[in-house]
C-alpha cells in the first residue's frame, strides 16, 4: 500500500475523531494551546534533560501491549529497571490513581485524558526531553482531547470489534453486533461469548447494536443497552479485557468482544487465519487513541520522559506495531513497519469502514451513568 493510499484511510478515521472531540480540553479559547502550569506533588514540573533518568520506571499499562524485548532494550540502554503493573479498563486505572497510587507512566485512552487533565492527575510533558516527539504524525501531536499535546504523547491507535471462530459461526457470517447480542444466535455457540470488562466499550457496543451513538447521554437508551446485555447474560462466559483473544483462539468461546491488535496477534501466533477473523461490526464500533502520560505524583518523571522518547524512536515505534498489531501514530516508523500490517484494513481501516467508527468522548457529569448501568447489566 502506498503512503498516499494509507493516509487516505487514516485521515478518514481521524476526521471522525476530530469531529467527536472538537475543542474539548482547549484552554481559554486559545485555539488549542494550554498555558504552562505547575504540575506534580511539589508544585513544580519535572526538570529533565533528554535521556536523563532519575530511578526505575513504574509503568502502569494495558495487558500484553508492549513487546518485552523493548522493555529489556530500554533497561539495558539506560541502566534502570521497568516494573510493570496492568489494568483492564481506563476506569480501573483512573480509580487507582485517584486513590493515591504512584506510577511514573500510564497509558490512558483519548476520552480519559481529558478527565485526568481536569482532575489534575497529569504532569505537563517537557518536550525538550522528548526529541523523538517530532516523529509523531501532525494530527497525533495536536489531538482534540489534549490540544498541543501538552500532557500526552500518542502510543498506539486501533479499533474495537469482534473476534469470530468461523468453524462455529460459518465463513459467511453477518459481521454484526448480533453475534454477541442476539440470544437466538448466541444460544447456539459452544462455550458462549465474552464481552469486555469496560463500561464505555461494552455499553457502547450495545448502544451501537441498537442504532444509537456510543456517546449517548440518554438514560433511557442506556437502560435499553442494559437489557440487551442482560438478554444474553446466561451465555456470557466472562467479562474479560485481558484474555479475550486467547479465549477465542483456544476454542473456549465462539465469539468475543475486544481490541483489534489483540486478536490479530493471537491469530498470527496460532497461524489461525483460516479459522478466526477480527471484524468491525456493520453497525459501527470504536476507534481509539492510547497515549503515554506522566502522572502528577510520579516519583521518576525523568525516566518516564526517557522511556517516552525511546518508544517514539522510528525503529522502536515500528517494533511496537510489528509486535502488537496496532496502528502506529509514529509517521517516522512507517518505513520499518511490516508491509502486510500497513496493507491490513483491520489495522488501518478503509474509508468505508471508517465511516462506521466513533471515538469515545468524555460525557462530563453523565459519565458515572455508564459505570452504574454497566454494573446493573453485570449483576
Position 254 scores a pLDDT of: 97
Report the 3 state secondary structure along 22-39: CCCCCCCCCCCCCCCCCC
Q: Which three cell numbers stand for residue 125?
A: 510533558
Q: Are strands 152-165 and 255-259 parallel, antiparallel or unpaired?
A: antiparallel
Q: Give DSSP secondary structure letters for 176-189.
A: STHHHH-HHHHTTS
| Tens digit of each residue's pLDDT (9 = 90 or more) over 62-106 | 999 999 999 999 999 999 999 999 999 999 999 999 999 999 999
| Tens digit of each residue's pLDDT (9 = 90 or more) over 257-271 | 999 999 999 999 999
Given a cut of 60, is residue 180 above it in pLDDT?
A: yes
Inter-residue contact 87 to 197 (CB < 8 Å): no
Position 13 scores a pLDDT of: 53
Q: Rounded mean pLDDT of 176-205?
A: 97
Given a cut of 50, is residue 360 above it in pLDDT?
A: yes
Inter-residue contact 272 to 97 (CB < 8 Å): no
| Tens digit of each residue's pLDDT (9 = 90 or more) over 7-40 | 445 554 555 554 444 444 333 333 333 333 334 4
Position 198 scores a pLDDT of: 95
pLDDT bin (cut points 50, 70, 90) of residue 46 is: confident
Q: Rounded mean pLDDT of 132-154?
A: 95
Position 32 scores a pLDDT of: 34
**Nearest Cα residue to 22 out of 153, 215, 171:** 215
DSSP conformation class of 295: B
Residue-range domains of the chain with CATH: 3-21+51-157+287-358 (3.40.190.10), 160-283+363-378 (3.40.190.10)
**Rounded to two decimals, what is the model's pTM?**
0.87
Position 173 scores a pLDDT of: 96
| Tens digit of each residue's pLDDT (9 = 90 or more) over 328-342 | 999 999 999 999 999
C-alpha–C-alpha distance, residues 141 and 137, integer Å = 7
Position 232 scores a pLDDT of: 97
Q: Burial level of 352, CB count in 10 A (0-12/13-18/19+)?
A: exposed
Phi/psi at 254 (5° precision) = -90, -35
pLDDT bin (cut points 50, 70, 90) of residue 278 is: very high
Mean pLDDT of the chain: 90
C-alpha–C-alpha distance, residues 220 and 215, integer Å = 13
Position 2 scores a pLDDT of: 40
Task: Tell me which of 157-161, 181-185, 298-302, 356-360 is least confident.
Answer: 356-360
Amino acid at each position: 500500500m502506498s503512503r498516499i493510499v494509507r493516509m487516505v484511510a487514516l485521515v478518514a478515521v481521524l476526521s471522525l475523531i476530530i469531529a467527536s472531540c472538537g475543542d474539548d480540553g482547549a484552554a481559554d479559547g486559545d485555539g488549542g494551546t494550554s498555558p504552562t502550569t505547575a504540575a506534580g506533588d511539589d508544585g513544580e514540573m519535572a526538570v529533565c534533560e533528554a535521556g536523563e533518568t532519575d530511578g526505575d520506571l513504574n509503568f502502569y499499562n494495558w495487558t500484553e501491549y508492549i513487546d518485552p524485548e523493548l522493555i529489556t532494550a530500554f533497561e539495558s540502554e539506560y541502566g534502570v529497571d521497568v516494573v510493570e503493573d496492568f489494568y483492564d479498563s481506563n476506569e480501573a486505572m483512573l480509580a487507582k490513581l485517584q486513590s493515591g497510587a504512584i506510577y511514573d507512566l500510564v497509558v490512558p485512552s483519548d476520552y480519559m485524558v481529558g478527565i485526568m487533565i481536569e482532575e489534575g492527575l497529569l504532569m505537563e510533558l517537557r518536550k525538550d526531553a522528548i526529541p523523538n516527539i517530532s516523529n509523531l504524525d501532525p494530527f497525533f501531536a495536536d489531538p482534540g482531547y489534549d490540544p498541543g499535546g501538552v500532557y500526552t504523547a500518542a502510543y498506539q491507535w486501533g479499533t474495537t470489534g469482534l473476534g469470530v471462530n468461523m468453524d462455529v459461526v460459518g465463513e459467511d457470517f453477518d459481521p454484526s453486533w448480533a453475534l454477541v447480542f442476539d440470544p437466538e444466535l448466541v444460544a447456539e455457540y459452544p462455550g458462549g461469548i465474552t464481552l469486555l470488562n469496560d463500561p464505555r466499550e461494552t455499553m457502547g457496543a450495545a448502544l451501537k447494536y441498537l442504532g444509537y451513538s456510543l456517546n449517548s447521554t440518554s438514560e433511557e437508551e442506556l437502560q435499553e443497552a442494559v437489557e440487551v446485555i442482560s438478554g444474553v447474560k446466561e451465555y456470557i462466559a466472562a467479562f474479560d479485557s485481558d484474555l479475550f483473544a486467547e479465549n477465542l483462539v483456544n476454542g473456549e468461546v465462539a465469539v468475543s468482544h475486544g481490541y483489534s491488535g489483540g486478536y490479530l496477534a493471537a491469530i498470527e501466533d496460532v497461524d489461525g487465519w483460516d479459522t478466526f477473523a477480527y471484524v468491525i461490526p456493520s453497525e459501527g464500533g470504536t476507534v481509539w487513541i492510547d497515549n503515554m502520560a506522566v502522572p502528577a505524583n510520579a516519583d521518576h518523571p525523568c525516566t518516564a520522559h526517557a522511556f517516552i522518547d525511546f518508544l517514539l524512536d522510528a525503529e522502536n515505534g515500528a517494533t511496537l506495531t510489528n509486535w502488537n498489531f496496532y496502528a502506529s501514530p509514529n509517521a517516522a516508523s512507517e518505513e520499518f513497519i511490516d508491509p502486510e500490517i500497513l496493507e491490513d484494513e483491520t489495522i488501518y481501516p478503509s474509508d468505508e469502514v471508517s465511516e462506521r467508527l466513533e471515538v469515545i468522548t468524555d460525557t462530563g457529569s453523565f459519565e458515572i451513568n455508564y459505570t452504574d448501568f454497566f454494573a446493573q447489566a453485570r449483576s
